[in-house]
Amino acid sequence: MPEETERLAADEAGITRAAELLASGALVAFPTETVYGLGADARNGLAVAGIYEAKGRPSFNPLITHVRDIGRAREIARFPEAVLPFIRNGWPAGLTLVVPLRERSGISSLVTAGLSTVAIRVPVWPPAKALLKAFGGPIAAPSANPSGRISSTTADHVMTGLNGRIAAVLDGGVSSAGIESTIIGLRDEEPVVLREGAFVVPDGVLRVTSPADASSHVDSPGQLASHYAPSGLVRMNARVAEPGEWHLGFGDIKGNATLSHDGDLREAAARLFAAFHEADARGVERIAVAPIPDHELGRAINDRLRRAAAPRPSPGHAGQRR
Ligand code: TXA
Ligand code: MG
């Protein structure tokens, strides 16, 4: 982890440096028109795991993928008819769309938390656009603040919360909107507002999901007890596998596959959802997971494992959750 966070001006040299750092797998906070994002290469699971580590975030919520233009967005996701009106005249400021992920998108499963959809956004703020252009790839980014604290709208805010925990912050002045993006997703092929934010939807045009409403669907991941589960049943804190279990190891516990040989929490986080997918692909019915230390990034891993291990609402439901 870096000792000191570089403060980069949003000029050519600063943008080039920020792009180099991202390409090396480091974390760079950058300004958008809504709030500052804490960015990592969205294709690099280890880098994305670093986001959770730096924020001290105790659970893996899926992250927004930031791309340069609509063409790049289409390489990663499919855009059903119903969302096209929103981007007909270009991607508007402060809007995020949750749409179906393409199979070979290259996006780390830690970004989507293993879901089949992806939250995608094209920022309009010039420093963000310049960074996306220089970097050339998709950038995953939640708001650039320690977990549980308010979002940052200046580079100073970012420094206050994350100095020493990230490689750099690109100083692009004050975010004009100062509030997170509006998130619109699809429910039964109809657009619905999943989170209100900077992009203003005229009153009454779209349904806004209430938390209670959302909790019965996949759209509001953080609120479900049982979620992101693989098809197989999950058992936690398993030092030894029982007959018929597929054992996911960690550190000294080898297992059939391991989250991290070296007991590295960041590597384990980066591999977690991919391991669930692998279990599904193998048709595994019962997964035993080795104990994961419950500190730092381990808390987020255990949060997800608890959700995966939680009682399932009804038979057959597990298959729909993927
Ligand atoms: O303005 C913003 O949106 C900022 C800037 C940096 O882009 N980002 C931000 O990210 O606020 P974050 O991580 O704080 O919020 C992202 C939200 C989460 O509530 C997450 O659950 C939701 O997006 N989300 C991401 N992917 C999703 C998906 N596939 N389905 C449903 N919700 C998703
Ligand atoms: Mg946030």
41-57 per-position pLDDT tens digit: 999 999 999 999 999 98
Between 310 and 155, name the one with better pLDDT: 155
| Ligand sitting nearest the alpha carbon of 65 | 1
Averaged over 53-74, what is the pLDDT? 94
Give pLDDT tens digits for 99-128: 999 999 999 999 999 899 999 999 999 999
Write out 135-153 in H/E/C secondary structure. HCCCEEECECCCCCCCCCC
Model confidence at 94: pLDDT above 70: yes
Question: Global pTM?
Answer: 0.87
Mutate to test the pocket of ligand 1, among 96, 129, 151 (most ligand atoms within 8 A of CB): 96
Give the C-alpha distances (Å, rounded to integers) separating 78 from 22, 112, 183, 229, 250. Answer: 26, 15, 16, 24, 36
pLDDT of residue 178: 86
Model confidence at 164: pLDDT above 60: yes
pLDDT of residue 206: 84
| Ligand sitting nearest the alpha carbon of 217 | 1
Model confidence at 159: pLDDT above 80: yes
- For the CA of 36, the closest atom of ligand 1 is 6
Nearest CA to ligand 1 atom 6: 37
Mean pLDDT score of the chain, rounded to an integer? 89
Interatomic CA distance for residues 8 and 300, integer angstroms: 30
Model confidence at 214: pLDDT above 50: no
Mutate to test the pocket of ligand 1, among 183, 184, 187, 213 (most ligand atoms within 8 A of CB): 183
In which band, very low, low, confident or very high, does the pLDDT at 227 lie, cut at 50, 70 and 90?
low
In which band, very low, low, confident or very high, does the pLDDT at 322 lie, cut at 50, 70 and 90?
very low
Longest Cα pair distance anywhere in the chain, in angstroms? 60
Distance 284 CA to ligand 2 centre (A): 35
Averaged over 144-169, what is the pLDDT? 93
pLDDT of residue 116: 92
Range list of H helices, the chain:
12-23, 45-55, 70-76, 84-87, 109-112, 126-135, 155-162, 211-214, 265-281, 297-309, 317-320
Sign of CA dihedral 70, 74, 76, 80: positive
Model confidence at 19: pLDDT above 90: yes
Pairing verdict, β 28-31 and 36-41: antiparallel
Distance 74 CA to ligand 1 centre (A): 18
Model confidence at 223: pLDDT above 90: no
In which band, very low, low, confident or very high, does the pLDDT at 212 lie, cut at 50, 70 and 90?
very low
Distance 183 CA to ligand 1 centre (A): 7
pLDDT of residue 18: 98
Model confidence at 96: pLDDT above 90: yes
Q: Which residues line ligand 1 (CB under 6 A)?
A: 32, 34-35, 37, 61-64, 96, 98, 112, 115, 117-119, 121, 141-143, 180-181, 183, 185, 194-195, 219, 221-222
In which band, very low, low, confident or very high, does the pLDDT at 211 lie, cut at 50, 70 and 90?
very low
Interatomic CA distance for residues 262 and 56, integer angstroms: 21
Tokens matching residue 264? 């590295």
Distance 48 CA to ligand 2 centre (A): 15
Residue 171 is which amino acid?
Answer: D
- For the CA of 66, the closest atom of ligand 1 is 7
| Ligand sitting nearest the alpha carbon of 193 | 1
Give the C-alpha distances (Å, rounded to integers) separating 40 from 20, 43, 107, 170, 273. Answer: 11, 9, 11, 13, 18
Report the share of the chain in percent with pLDDT over 90: 70
Mutate to test the pocket of ligand 1, among 48, 52, 57, 61 (most ligand atoms within 8 A of CB): 61
| Structure-token match 């979620």, residue found | 227
Give pLDDT tens digits for 187-206: 988 999 998 889 988 777 78
Distance 151 CA to ligand 2 centre (A): 6
Mutate to test the pocket of ligand 1, among 59, 180, 200, 227 (most ligand atoms within 8 A of CB): 180
Between 250 and 148, name the one with better pLDDT: 250
Give pLDDT tens digits for 262-317: 999 999 988 888 898 889 889 999 999 999 999 888 988 898 899 889 887 665 44
What's the angle, vertex CA 83, arms to CA 80 and CA 84, rounded to 5?
85
